[in-house]
Amino acid sequence: MLIAVDNLERLVRDIFRSHGCSEAESGRIALYLVRANLTGHDSHGVIRVPRYVAWLRSGEFVPNQSLAVVSENATMAVLDGQYGFGQSIGPEAVQIGMRKAGESGAAIVALRHSAHLGRIGEWAEMAAEAGLVSVHFVNVAGSQLVAPFGGVDRRLSTAPFAVGFPVRGRDPVILDFATSAVAEGKVLVAARGGKALPEGSLIEPDGQLSADPHTLYGPYGEGDAPDYKRGQGAIRAFGEHKGSGLALMCELLAGALTGSGCAGPGQKRFCNGMLSFYMKPSFFGSEADYAAEAQRYIEFFKSSRPAKPGGEVLLPGEPERRTRAERLKQGVPLSNDAWRAICATAEDAKLEVGRYPVLSDAA
Ligand code: NAD
């Protein structure tokens, strides 16, 4: 089905409003989840609503929370999200990093115990909009999903990594990905009847490669909430030994160094840790020179002859911008299964789903 951005945002906002989140926080949750859909990352969009509500009810996510400053100086801050929504804690932490980098040239911000921070590229975009370069290492305590290179047992979270690089006169370069072959949300999308997984994204306990979401979730029926704790298999780390190594660094930097906790061992409370670096380009020299060299290099990079006829070399961030432009015009497509699960959550909150009309019911 297809739904216009404003109706989808209103529906998500009203769901969280009816679960005790403030007007402002409900608005932020809706805004950032829908923005993930707009960039094409449906895995980190509104499909998360039923799970967020379940975690709100179980006390895993704390509504209307603000972050606590554990320690800080001019260029560093250690922040505790106190399990508040990532859509509230994330922008608060980024603002602190941006302010310090704006004043001192660079800043390092260690964020621990944030509830799900969603699409990490969002935070790199926020810094890039303010003219700052940023690098983000993220992990998820309480979420062992990924087998390291050479192993079958889950040891890592999907541990995303993001870099934002603003270039004056053109859109910023935004690299943002999970260090797993696919983000868990993409397995969830596939389990809910959405886009199928690439072959070999998952691994069975006997080492067989798989693209079947049951490898991760075990048995589930139509309408069930797939639960990764029920499956025996794992997602594979991306990029063989190199991706597995980057994932390990995300766990160490975002989990151990920030104090948020690594993916294991043992059962931990679900939260994101994020170690972020912010840099002000003018601190490194002439901003005009840096922008001109970056422009020249980007053109050179993109001018590589396409590997396939009609193909094109894209910059990280370009696919997201194109999808955003398209979906803002045409509406957000959702699988019928994902939509049904959101509607069930809305009805459970005594909302009348008819008040949020869809553009088309077609799958
Ligand atoms: P992905 O595999 O779609 O990769 C996205 C990156 O690759 C983007 O930078 C994109 O611009 C770039 N890209 C895509 N196609 C390209 C092309 N043809 N040419 C050049 N660049 C291209 O992303 P993913 O690994 O599935 O991650 C999805 C999202 O999940 C990310 O936003 C990530 O932050 C988020 N995530 C969040 C958490 C969390 O705990 N909060 C955990 C895992 C993932």
pLDDT tens profile 264-308: 998 899 999 999 999 999 999 898 899 999 999 999 999 999 999
Nearest CA to 147 out of 235, 239, 207 is that of: 235
Q: Is 295:109 a contact under the CB 8 Å cutoff?
A: no
Confidence of residue 362 (pLDDT cuts 50, 70, 90): confident
Whether ligand 1 lies within 6 angstroms of the CB of 113 is answered as no
Whole-angstrom Cα distance, residue 67 to residue 80?
Answer: 5
| Atom 17 (ligand 1) nearest CA | 314
Q: Within 13 Å of residue 299, how many CA atoms lie on the same side as its CB?
A: 7
The pLDDT of residue 192 is 82
| Atom 27 (ligand 1) nearest CA | 177
Most ligand 1 atoms within 8 A of CB, residue of 176, 251, 260 to mutate: 176
Whether the per-residue pLDDT at 183 is higher than 90: the answer is: no
State both tokens at 172: 């910023």
Whether ligand 1 lies within 6 angstroms of the CB of 122 is answered as no
Whether ligand 1 lies within 6 angstroms of the CB of 44 is answered as yes
What is the separation of C-alpha 229 from the centre of its chain, rounded to a whole number of angstroms? 20
| Atom 39 (ligand 1) nearest CA | 118
The pLDDT of residue 363 is 60
Rounded distance from Cα 120 to ligand 1 centre (Å)? 9
Whether ligand 1 lies within 6 angstroms of the CB of 197 is answered as no
From the CA of 44, give the closest atom in ligand 1. 30
Whether ligand 1 lies within 6 angstroms of the CB of 314 is answered as yes
Sheet containing 106-114: which strands, arranged edge to edge? 68-72, 76-80, 106-114, 271-279, 133-141, 160-167, 170-178
Query: Which runs of consecutive H residues, i.e. helices, occur in the chain?
Result: 5-17, 23-38, 49-58, 86-104, 121-129, 184-191, 214-217, 240-250, 287-302, 318-330, 336-348
Please compute the mean of the pLDDT values over residues 324-328 and round it to a whole number. Answer: 97
From the CA of 179, give the closest atom in ligand 1. 25
Whether ligand 1 lies within 6 angstroms of the CB of 121 is answered as yes
The chain-wide mean pLDDT, for the chain, equals 96
Rounded distance from Cα 185 to ligand 1 centre (Å)? 11
Whether ligand 1 lies within 6 angstroms of the CB of 65 is answered as no
Q: What SS3 state is found at 126?
A: helix
Q: Within 13 Å of residue 251, how many CA atoms lie on the same side as its CB?
A: 24
Rounded distance from Cα 147 to ligand 1 centre (Å)? 19
Q: What is the pLDDT of residues 123-155, one digit of tens each?
A: 999 999 999 999 999 999 999 999 999 999 999
In sequence order, what are the residues at sequence separation of 6 or more whose Cβ sits closer than 8 angstroms to the Cβ of residue 11?
A: 30, 342, 346, 351, 353, 356
Q: Is 99:56 a contact under the CB 8 Å cutoff?
A: no
| Atom 4 (ligand 1) nearest CA | 177
The pLDDT of residue 44 is 93
Most ligand 1 atoms within 8 A of CB, residue of 177, 188, 189, 308 to mutate: 177
Is this structure's pTM higher than 0.85? yes
Q: Tell me the helices (H) and strands (E) count for the chain, helix number first.
A: 11, 13
